[in-house]
Structure 1
Amino acid sequence: MEKEDYSINIIGAGLSGLVAARVLEDYGYQPTIYEAESHVGGRLRTFEVDGYQLDRGFQVMLSQYPKVQQYLDLEALKLQKLKPGAVIYNKRESTRIGDPTRDISALLPTIFSSIGSISDKFKVLKLNLELKKLSIQEIFNKEENTTLQYLQNKGFSEKMISNFFRPFFSGIFLEPDLKTSSRMFEFVYKMFGEGDAVIPKGGINAIPMQLYKRLKTTKVNFNSRIKQVTDDLLTLENGEQVKSHFTIIATEASSMVANLRGQKQQWKSCRCLYFTVEEDVIGDAIIGLQSDKEKLVNNIFYHSSILNNNATEGKLLSATIVRDVEYCEEELVEKVSEELKFEFGIKTIKFLKQFYIPKALPDLQDIQYELQSTEARLSTQVFLAGDQLLNGSQNAAMLSGERAALGVIEVLEG
């Protein structure tokens, strides 16, 4: 049988599925993607509302991710860089801190900030040097702990943890108590230290769109939800059946595969509210953090600091909530607007949109970096992909898609 005659089907057109298709194409195969929605990207979506470009949640990409560098044309994405560091808000007062090794203007503000002690700041520099010397695989081979316990073991003061590490990494891990694995903390911290946090000029959806547009022989069927997967057959929700030599499930698989019933993936959620506001009180492409974990808003970011929007009504601001809330939208908008005014000194003009993201990040234990192609194999003809197999990151999504595709190729080519 010729390569183009094999029926290789991929379920899901997120980063995992798109990279899997790219790898299969590189080896001469012509896969088909079945996507339940009308668009590519999975969790990476961008919308236009009233002339403003809104990502589905405040999301950045870390330019140092190995798979990002391998599979994306970073120059073509016109990446907009966030400044390293943060503006910390505590009891209506703000303090700016940065990385003096990358931005010399941050040296004095960071040294003299009240965020932590001088000892804490030396410990930060020491941690930077330690992680630069470690490979990614060495980080993931370490014994796991919670991020909170890790920071305490490193000797950071409670003030430094509560004023900087907790709010900053709560926004990344989408949980307020730093229960996330210390492996993930070291990995993300290393990536931040060695590269940039960036957003494509076209919004976060520009990342999967670039992967999609670079596919040549892959067919993509949109609005095609898969109900069931067996070794040699896909059953769509509309009852249609498709013969399959190999299937890569690049999304949550528990609802499609009989022997995975009851093994439903747990997820972390968040809410992101967008507003137009009167002025930019930060004046830079840098994140604003609320150090009081009892407040609703974890972080704010002025998207108008890096993106060109067609609207002129005001500055575009996002406010992200990482803990569970039970307010209706009207109540939540009112309470967040009050916090923005009294805690951050920001007067809102107009509420634009709320995104509730119930599946923002997989909630994982025993996280890993690497996945062998054989480990992606669920059965003789079915392979799995997705960041939920490894760790919650764009890098893991791409890597798992690559490994699943290579698993199929190994079976076919030996």
Structure 2
Amino acid sequence: MKKSAYKINIIGAGISGLIAAQVLENYGYNPTIIEASDSVGGRVKSDIVNGYTLDHGFQVLLSSYPAAKKYLDYDALELQEFLPGATIFKDKKSHTIGDPLRNFSLLFPTLTASIGTFSDKIKILKLNTLLKKKKIASIFETEEKTTLKYLQDFGFSNEIIEDFFKPFFSGIFLEAELETSSRMFEFVYKMFGDGLAVLPKNGIQAIPNQLKSKLKNTTFKFNTPVKEVKDNQIILENEENLDSHITIIATDASLLISNLKNQETKWKSCETLYFETDKRVIEKPLIGLIADKNALINNIFYHSSVANSNTGTKELLSVTVVKEHNLNDLDFILKVTEDLKILCNIDVKKIVKRYQIKKALPKLTNLQYEISSTETKLKSTIFLAGDQLLNGSLNAAMISGERAAMGVIQTLEDGLIVDELTSEYQ
């Protein structure tokens, strides 16, 4: 059978599904992507509201991600760089800290900032050096502990943990107590040290949009939710049946395969609010961290501090909340705006949009960096992809998509399922 004749379906047009399609195309196959929503991206999406680009949650790309460097055209994305540091709001004052070796303008504020002890700052340099030398494979072979325990064992003071590490990494891990695996901490910290946090000029959805634009022989079926996946068949929500030689499930497979019901992925949630303000209290492209245990808000960022293709008339501020709460909508908004005013001296003019993201990151243990193509195979005709197989990152989504596609290619080229199908499809 010709390669182009195989019916290979990918469920989910997120990052892993798009990468899987690209790899299959590279080997001469013509896959179909089935997507429940009306666009690509999955959890990596943006909206245009009132002239502003609003990402679904505060998201950045770490430029040193190995898989991202392989599959993305950075120049075409017009990446806007964040400075390697943060502005910390504590006791109604702000303190800016950063890596002066990478940006000299951060030298004086970092030395004079009353955040952490002198010993803490020496330990940060020591940690930088340690993780710069450490191979990614070694990070994911190291015994796991919580990030909090890792920082304590490294000798950091409680002050620097509470004032910097907790608010910074809570915004990345989307949990407030740093219970996330130390493997993820070391990996993310290394990625920050090896590169920069960046944001495409057209918002985070420019990433999946670019991946889609590279696909020349892939068919897309949007607004097509799937109900169930069987060996050689996909059952849609509208009860339509699609024949499928091989299916890659690039989303939570437990919802689609009956015998995986007890293996449903658990998720971390967050909320992101976008506000208009008249002025910026952080002029440079730096993330703002809230070092106050009683604050509801975790981190802030002025998207208008970097170039954007869509610009409204005011400054655009995003606010991220990772703490759980039981506030009703009105009290929640009031608490957020109160925190901004009291802790950051920020007056918001208008709320632009609120995103309640129930499935922001997979909640995982025993984090891995790599997965073999054979490990993505659930059955001879069903393969799995998605960052939930490895670790919650865009890099993991890309790797898993690539490995699932290679598993499909190996299965087809080895003739492992042809005998089952030729009688039906010849």
Using the size of structure 1 for normalisation, the TM-score is: 0.99
Specify the alignment match of 2:91 in structure 1.
Answer: 91
Specify the alignment match of 1:72 in structure 2.
Answer: 72
Specify the alignment match of 1:181 in structure 2.
Answer: 181
Give, as a single letter, the amino acid of the residue that structure 2 aligns with 1:299.
N
Q: Which whole-Å CA distance do the structure 2 matches of 1:308 and 1:148 have between them?
A: 36
Please report how far the alpha carbon of residue 294 of structure 1 lies from its aligned counterpart in structure 2 after TM superposition: 2.2
Give, as a single letter, the amino acid of the residue that structure 2 aligns with 1:8.
I
Q: Which whole-Å CA distance do the structure 2 matches of 1:243 and 1:295 have between them?
A: 53
Q: Which whole-Å CA distance do the structure 2 matches of 1:310 and 1:37 have between them?
A: 23
Specify the alignment match of 2:336 in structure 1.
Answer: 336
Specify the alignment match of 1:44 in structure 2.
Answer: 44
CA distance 1:310–1:196, change in 2 (3 Å):
closer
Specify the alignment match of 1:380 in structure 2.
Answer: 380
Q: Which whole-Å CA distance do the structure 1 matches of 2:180 and 2:260 have between them?
A: 25
Q: Which whole-Å CA distance do the structure 2 matches of 1:309 and 1:411 have between them?
A: 44
SS in 2 for 1:289: strand
Please report how far the alpha carbon of residue 313 of structure 1 lies from its aligned counterpart in structure 2 after TM superposition: 3.6
Specify the alignment match of 1:242 in structure 2.
Answer: 242
1:284–1:305 CA contact under 8 A, matched in 2: yes
Q: Which whole-Å CA distance do the structure 2 matches of 1:293 and 1:60 have between them?
A: 25
2:202–2:309 CA contact under 8 A, matched in 1: no
2:202–2:308 CA contact under 8 A, matched in 1: no
Please report how far the alpha carbon of residue 310 of structure 1 lies from its aligned counterpart in structure 2 after TM superposition: 4.9
Please report how far the alpha carbon of residue 3 of structure 1 lies from its aligned counterpart in structure 2 after TM superposition: 0.3
Q: Which whole-Å CA distance do the structure 2 matches of 1:179 and 1:293 have between them?
A: 16
1:328-374 deviation line (CA, Å, top 9, x unaligned): 22222121111111110111111111000000000001110000001
Please report how far the alpha carbon of residue 125 of structure 1 lies from its aligned counterpart in structure 2 after TM superposition: 0.5
1:176–1:293 CA contact under 8 A, matched in 2: no
Specify the alignment match of 1:170 in structure 2.
Answer: 170
1:72–1:211 CA contact under 8 A, matched in 2: yes
Worse-superposed segment, 217-226 or 101-110 = 101-110
Specify the alignment match of 2:282 in structure 1.
Answer: 282
Matching of residues 130-209 of structure 1 within 5 Å: 130-209=130-209
Give, as a single letter, the amino acid of the residue that structure 1 aligns with 2:359.
K
SS in 2 for 1:261: helix
Q: Which whole-Å CA distance do the structure 2 matches of 1:311 and 1:403 have between them?
A: 39
Q: Percent identity?
A: 56
1:51–1:309 CA contact under 8 A, matched in 2: no
Please report how far the alpha carbon of residue 199 of structure 1 lies from its aligned counterpart in structure 2 after TM superposition: 0.6
Q: Which whole-Å CA distance do the structure 2 matches of 1:20 and 1:171 have between them?
A: 29
Please report how far the alpha carbon of residue 235 of structure 1 lies from its aligned counterpart in structure 2 after TM superposition: 0.5
Using the size of structure 2 for normalisation, the TM-score is: 0.96
RMSD between aligned residues = 0.9
Specify the alignment match of 1:308 in structure 2.
Answer: 308
Q: Which whole-Å CA distance do the structure 1 matches of 2:337 and 2:8 have between them?
A: 50
1:351-398 deviation line (CA, Å, top 9, x unaligned): 111000000000001110000001101011100000000000000000
Specify the alignment match of 1:252 in structure 2.
Answer: 252
Give, as a single letter, the amino acid of the residue that structure 2 aligns with 1:215.
L
Worse-superposed segment, 241-250 or 331-340 = 331-340
* Structure 2 gap ranges (5+): 415-426
Q: Which whole-Å CA distance do the structure 1 matches of 2:80 and 2:247 have between them?
A: 36
SS in 2 for 1:177: coil
Give, as a single letter, the amino acid of the residue that structure 2 aligns with 1:226.
V
Count of matched residue positions in the alignment of Structure 1 and Structure 2: 414
Specify the alignment match of 2:124 in structure 1.
Answer: 124
1:299–1:319 CA contact under 8 A, matched in 2: yes
Is the aligned partner of 1:226 residue 2:226?
A: yes
